[in-house]
Structure 1
Amino acid sequence: MSEDKELFDEADIEETAVTVDDHDKKDDDEYEKICFMCRRPESKAGKMISLPNNINICTECMQKSFDTMSSSNINYNDLMNNIPNMPNISMIDLSTLQDQIPKKQKLKKKKEKPKEEETAKTLSIKDIPAPHKIKASLDEYVVGQDYAKKVMSVAVYNHYKRVYADKVDDIEIEKSNMLMIGPTGSGKTYLVKTLARLLDVPLAITDATSLTEAGYIGDDIESVVSKLLAAADNDVEKAEHGIIFVDEIDKLAKKKNTNQRDVSGESVQQGMLKLLEGSEVEVPVGANSKNAMVPLTTVDTKNILFICGGAFPELENVIKERLNKQSSIGFNADLKDKYDHDETVLQKVTVDDLKTFGMIPEFLGRLPVVFTLSGLTKEMLVQILKEPKNAILKQYKRLLALDEVKLEFEDGALEAIAEMALKKHTGARALRAILEEYMLDIMYEIPKDDSIGEVIITKEYIEHTGGPRILLRGQEPVRLEATEG
């Protein structure tokens, strides 16, 4: 019996070893080898020479090592013999230096596709949803902003048609990079997030305020592409069809009346020109800086859709100044305060206004689609509270439903919340802050009492002139019968 058990254990060990070997082999087949010295992947450096301890060296680095050894005057035999006698010096274990490269820094191999599959890929243009379908999907999540949703739907549809379509008569379709302008809290980032989720493409969202010119503290301009590569699971081919959203783009405007070098403004705009237009850039894998000892790969940005967004504060004053130049003295002259209370003045923006604001002409020329998002009105804020698929009210109702408590909001209470949000001038973000404040006591008290069946938020509670209506479980059916009778 013991012999059988022993044989069984040995068989298990052998099977486990085979499984581990197969897993490692599969892992090696899926990811590229990285040169230990220059950190380039196999697709760039060529065939690797494999050494013990999982060390791979490209032929170029190996040749350089041989050339250095042959041209040097050092007698390596004397050096090796004297090493043991030298104090505080020990042989370096290369395996500890190489270690295991993290998965987030490994590059996936490009799949070699047969010609038949390449032909089939061009037919996948039919799989791209039409603009009206894209807009209908956005309508489920985003309230209002119909013009912005229409522009984005058409631009994205045309972009992916360009990616998948063949060249006909040497006609190359240009990229439809976008610049969206809108006040804070109007839904710029939320629109892009929803769009990427609907299209099921990699999305990288980055903040322009952290970008600096190469050589200075901060993120390099290429780091935005590195983030997209990470979002695509280090699959270069997948990343090259993704979307990059650069938020706070207005912070890159040229600084006025300064004698210092503008390393985070105009120079970053100039550095982004090649990315927006489309070029092959070398980016680090799994890091933001090229100086880190990580693999580098090349990504072509010609099929990456760039969407830039910003609130552009004070841009309204630039537009009003341009419009007010038409005012003069006389009966038919425009008044200087004509546009002071115009809520749609941002929609009258032109490229010249953006140049005056501080954006360079070359940068604006690579963003052909410029559109604005309107500020939110009281009615739109009420809709945002209750209509979208993941509306804030639906989230709170779900939270209380887990405690078996029903939550309701009176229409007057929703209007009062919307009015308070308008005064904060932070758009839809203010709604969450206001609700958190008023729901705090309710969320704290309800778990104390199991007899509470329903909570109704009233207008008086929001205006601090009363409290919410609370119905106990035993009271609820009595109230309903009285109403029907």
Structure 2
Amino acid sequence: MRQHAHPFSSHPISSAWVASSNTALAPTTPIPPSALCRAYSSSASSVKAAEPPASPVFAVAGVTEATPADDDPHSCMTPKAVVELLDRYIIGQDDAKRAVAVAYRNRWRRKRVPASIRDDIVPKNILLIGPTGCGKTEIARRLAKLANSPFVKVEATKFTEVGYHGRDVDTIIRDLLEAAIGLVRQRLRRQHEAALRAVVEERLLRALHSQEQLGAAGQPAVVEALREKLRKGELEDVYIEVDLTPPPGARGGGGAGGPGIIDLGGFGMGSPQTPVVINLTNLGGKKDVRTLKVREARPLLEDLEAERMFPPEQLIKEAIAATEQDGIVFIDEIDKIVSGGRGPGSWRSGDPSSEGVQRDLLPIIEGSVVSTKHGNVSTDHILFICAGAFHSVKPSDLMAELQGRLPIRVELRPLSRADFLRILTEPEYNLIRQQKVLLSSEGVDLEFSPGALDEVTRVAEELNRSLDNIGARRLHAVLERVVEEISFDAPELVARAREQAGAEGQQAQAGTAAGAGTTPVAEAQSSAAAVSSGGTAEGAQQAGAAGSGAGPDSPAAAPGRVKVVIDRAHVERTLSALLQKQDLTRYIL
């Protein structure tokens, strides 16, 4: 049941959440605030949010005139810093990065203004316009990780108008709240990890040693001996009997909507009324006693003790506050619910997934109260980022009311061949690095010559021009075809290299290796290069020459490993046949 709220009174949230802003939901290991302030200009592998100063876990307090602490790590995350961080993962699209960076900074600014005006400052929702594969989704996803905020990505075409069978738009907010619950739970478990492990360790010790024996003489020595073995991992396969009965009001092991939870809200038709949730776990007061190995019981006990340490009602209160103040919703393919166009990409007028969905989105984006099984959630301060290609329709074909709720419009440009080359090499976890890491796990040191990269980008650009333009996603298809043969033959290449290395080692021990003309590594490299360059001796020499000029970043393969150099000739040989058969290319690339 949705209700409008103008104005919506501030939801009471914990003092820890107010002081820490977005940092309370960091999904990664926390680092000191000073380190986060330097993160955007350092070479750190990822940005991790800092935890707030020590404070009661659930000291509930209303929002006051007080501003956040001066050591708030997000004070260093200026729009320029956010753009520089996004540059590490996304190539180009500077206008879109600037828009989301300002929106992110405005959230931090809002928390520092007096409470009398705070509720009147609403986020400026964004409409990203650009072809598929140009970075719209990635920008929103990286922003959510950077902000450590509840985030959901939905497709507008998956929803139907209220009154029709299917999902209604209110489920967006319910999914966002579930994401917030998971993030808050992770944060609290990190904050109290030491205490949680200590409690679980004591429970495991009690299970390993009966109460009667613990009361006997020499108890401390026995317990300490068990504790030492437990910490060393010597008792992981010992079977113990543990009581896994959940505390009253807990999730029952299944989380929201998990086993034993029945949600009767809505019955799958239209807009649900007040949800009815029936918890059937532990019905009748029976205990859940199981016999498990120590390694199997530990994670279950950690989950159970976490439920005891963090009361569900207080955890939900934290999660609702996080959703309302820091939630981010990314609605993709919003152009597909526009009926103003007549092209194949637009929906027919009267379609339940068309303008009716636009009307249902209006109150949520503008600000309303959505009823969930955990409580009411206000959408007044949730940031909405909508995106669409708008090939067959124009942004002006959106309902006028919806256009007004997306005041910031950013047009993303199509990617060029130069952008493709940067995408392959510059981002922190670029596609080339991913392929190298995957094959390195099997003993193959993969290298790409500059000519190979140039040919990959040329083919990707040509395919986007002659077929459907899918942007950077074309690089995935092309690159997979290029490395397919090497990836398939990798185990045999490595096995052959190790056999040769073993044989040469035996010859060296016997004193017969003095006249050997080549080393096992050189032979393995030559064989692998031949595979990557067409399987000929001439191709092996070309690949070896390409690899020799790669510099210090491309050292010779270690004994027992194979170095494979992919050059332009290999790329041309792999893709030439497909490029000549356009009908086949349409399905494969």
| TM-score band w.r.t. shorter chain | 0.5 to 0.7
2:432 paired residue number: 393
Identity among equivalent pairs (%): 34
Q: Which runs of 5+ in 2 are unaligned?
A: 1-10, 12-56, 182-315, 498-523, 525-561, 577-589
Residue aligning to 2:209 = none
Give the AA of the match of 1:246.
I
Structural mapping, 1:22-33, within 5 Å? none
For normalisation by structure 2, the TM-score amounts to: 0.49
Q: 1:155 — aligned with what?
A: 103
Of 407, 425, 430, the match for 2:474: 430
Answer yes or no: is the 8 Å Cα contact 2:335–2:395 preserved in 1: no
Higher relative contact order (CA 8 A, sep 6+): 2
- In structure 1, give the amino acid aligned to 2:95: Y
Shift of 1:169: 6.7
Deviations 1:298-328 (A, max 9, x none): 100011100001111135xxxxxxxxxxxxx
Q: Does 1:373 align with 2:412?
A: yes
What whole-Å deviation, never above 9, does each CA across 1:444-482 have from its counterpart, x for those lacking one? 112102323211111111111899xxxxxxxxxxxxxxx
Match of 2:564 among 437, 446, 455: 455
CA RMSD of aligned residues (A): 2.8
- Partner residue, 1:252: 337
* TM-score for the superposition, normalised by structure 1: 0.59
Give the match for residue 142 of structure 1: 90
Q: Number of matched residues? A: 309
CA contact (8 A) 2:369 2:378 kept: yes
Match of 1:281 among 362, 366, 370: 370
State how 1:37-436 maps to structure 2 within 5 Å: 111=58, 113-114=60-61, 119=66, 121=68, 127-128=74-75, 129-167=77-115, 172-233=120-181, 235-240=319-324, 241-254=326-339, 261-283=350-372, 295=373, 297-315=375-393, 353-355=394-396, 358-422=397-461, 423-424=463-464, 425-436=469-480
**CA contact 1:206–1:246 (8 Å) conserved in 2:** yes
Contact 2:129–2:390, Cα closer than 8 Å, also in 1: yes
If you compute each CA radius of gyration, which structure gives the higher value, 1 or 2? 1
Aligned equivalents of 2:349 and 2:363: distance in 1? 25
Deviation at 1:116, TM superposition (A): 9.4
Does structure 2 conserve the Cα–Cα contact (< 8 Å) formed by 1:125 and 1:161?
Answer: no
Task: Please tell me whether the aligned partners of residues 255 and 265 of structure 1 are also in contact (alpha carbons under 8 angstroms).
Answer: no
Cα shift at 1:127 = 2.7
**Equivalent pair of 1:122/1:165 in contact (CA under 8 Å):** no
| Deviation by residue 1:74-109 (Cα, 9 ceiling, x = unmatched) | xxxxxxxxxxxxxxxxxxxxxxxxxxxxxxxxxxxx
Distance across 2 between alignment mates of 1:388 and 1:161: 30
Q: Give the Cα separation in 1 of the matches to 2:159 and 2:329.
A: 14
- Cα pair 1:209 1:264 within 8 Å, conserved: yes
Deviations 1:6-44 (A, max 9, x none): xxxxxxxxxxxxxxxxxxxxxxxxxxxxxxxxxxxxx9x
Alpha-carbon separation, structure 1, partners of 2:363 and 2:385: 15
Output the CA distance in 2 between the equivalents of 1:152 and 1:360: 23
State the AA in 2 paired with 1:222. D
Maintained 8 Å contact 2:445/2:564: yes
Taking the aligned partners of 1:254 and 1:163, their CA distance within structure 2 comes to: 39
Query: Cα offset for 1:267?
Result: 1.3
How far is 1:155 from its partner?
2.0
| Deviation (angstroms), 1:166 | 2.2
- What is the distance in 1 between the residues matched to 2:323 and 2:165? 26
- The alignment partner of 2:409 has SS state of strand
Structure 1: runs of 5+ lacking an equivalent: 1-42, 44-109, 284-294, 316-352, 468-485
